[in-house]
């Protein structure tokens, strides 16, 4: 079973810029104008996609483990090779295979030049990622027959109420407007992840879907996908807590920049 190591085994928290009075915003989240991210060097899109496909087992394992999936990396490799892993719940195996299918769809879209950082693409990805988990998949909350959702549990046991489904179309429109003003693909990808995650557009699978959308935007511009390692789960969840309790994405973007 995957266990999150105690906090002593993690890196020290990433410092957040103190001058945060001046911020950018999507209407749902903000981030500091003083934010500085490590430089990333792009390559040809096909090379970035090749590296991502090669890292599929590792990316899949990290994404699943961060959701509490107990498959080990060797077990993920075995399952992806088409061999059933004994002693595991069917739901966990289905989650991993759904991630694989979503990643394959994503890389096909990027390779063909059809990837877009938009709702249509996100719905396609979500329909793969959450097909075994969400009440309704491939649709924003409120677009189908089920109401509610969007609630988030914090690491301290607290609860953040979900954004009403009626507000999600406005959230999405505001996000698209904000993204159009961001020229840096890396920042644009991170902002999408943070804002989409905070809005909780779907009933389930939001972080995984938003992370793959972030990966797609990076790959489409020749950058390597950001792979959040399970070894840094505590940092990731602390940054998520900050995002959900303050609507400030600065800490999360700094964390993503360090991955």
Residue-wise pLDDT tens digits, 186-235: 999 999 999 999 999 999 999 999 999 999 999 999 999 999 999 999 99
For residue 219, give the CATH number of its domain.
Answer: 1.10.3290.10
Is residue 72, in this structure, part of any structural domain at all?
yes
Residue-wise pLDDT tens digits, 76-107: 999 999 999 999 999 999 999 999 999 999 99
Is residue 11, in this structure, part of any structural domain at all?
no
Please tell me what DSSP assigns to residue 117.
Answer: S
Is residue 2, in this structure, part of any structural domain at all?
no
Is residue 16, in this structure, part of any structural domain at all?
no
Sign of the C-alpha dihedral computed for residues 189, 175, 203 and 138 taken in this order: negative
- Residues in a beta bridge with 181: none
Is residue 199, in this structure, part of any structural domain at all?
yes
How far is Cα 160 from Cα 151, in angstroms, rounded to an integer? 6
pLDDT at residue 14, rounded to an integer: 43
Is residue 237, in this structure, part of any structural domain at all?
yes
Is residue 111, in this structure, part of any structural domain at all?
yes
pLDDT at residue 21, rounded to an integer: 57
Q: How many structural domains are present in the chain?
A: 1
Residue 114 is encoded by which pair of tokens? 């059809």
pLDDT at residue 147, rounded to an integer: 77
How far is Cα 110 from Cα 253, in angstroms, rounded to an integer? 23
Residue 182 is encoded by which pair of tokens? 């961001």
Domain that holds residue 117: 22-258
Is residue 232, in this structure, part of any structural domain at all?
yes
């Amino acid at each position: 079973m995957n266990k999150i190591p105690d906090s002593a085994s993690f890196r020290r928290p990433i410092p957040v810029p103190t001058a945060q009075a001046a911020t950018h915003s999507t209407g749902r989240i903000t981030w500091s104008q003083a934010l500085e991210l490590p430089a990333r060097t792009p390559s040809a899109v096909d090379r970035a996609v090749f590296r991502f496909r090669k890292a599929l087992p590792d990316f899949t394992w990290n994404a699943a483990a961060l959701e509490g999936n107990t498959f080990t990396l060797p077990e993920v490799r075995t399952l992806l090779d088409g061999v059933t892993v004994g002693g595991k719940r069917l739901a966990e195996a289905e989650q991993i295979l759904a991630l694989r299918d979503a990643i394959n769809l994503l890389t096909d879209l990027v390779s063909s030049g059809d990837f877009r950082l938009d709702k249509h693409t996100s719905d396609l990805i979500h329909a793969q990622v959450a097909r075994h988990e969400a009440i309704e998949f491939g649709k924003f909350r409120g677009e189908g027959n089920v109401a509610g959702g969007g609630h988030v549990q914090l690491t301290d046991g607290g609860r953040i109420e979900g954004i009403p489904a009626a507000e999600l179309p406005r959230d999405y429109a505001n996000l698209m407007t904000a993204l159009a003003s961001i020229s840096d693909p890396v920042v644009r990808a991170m902002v999408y992840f943070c804002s989409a995650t905070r809005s909780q557009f779907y009933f389930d699978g939001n972080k995984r879907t938003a992370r793959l959308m972030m990966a797609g935007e990076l790959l489409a511009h020749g950058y390597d996908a950001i792979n959040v390692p399970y070894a840094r789960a505590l940092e990731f969840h602390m940054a998520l807590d900050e995002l959900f309790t303050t609507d400030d994405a600065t800490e999360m973007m700094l964390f993503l920049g360090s991955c």
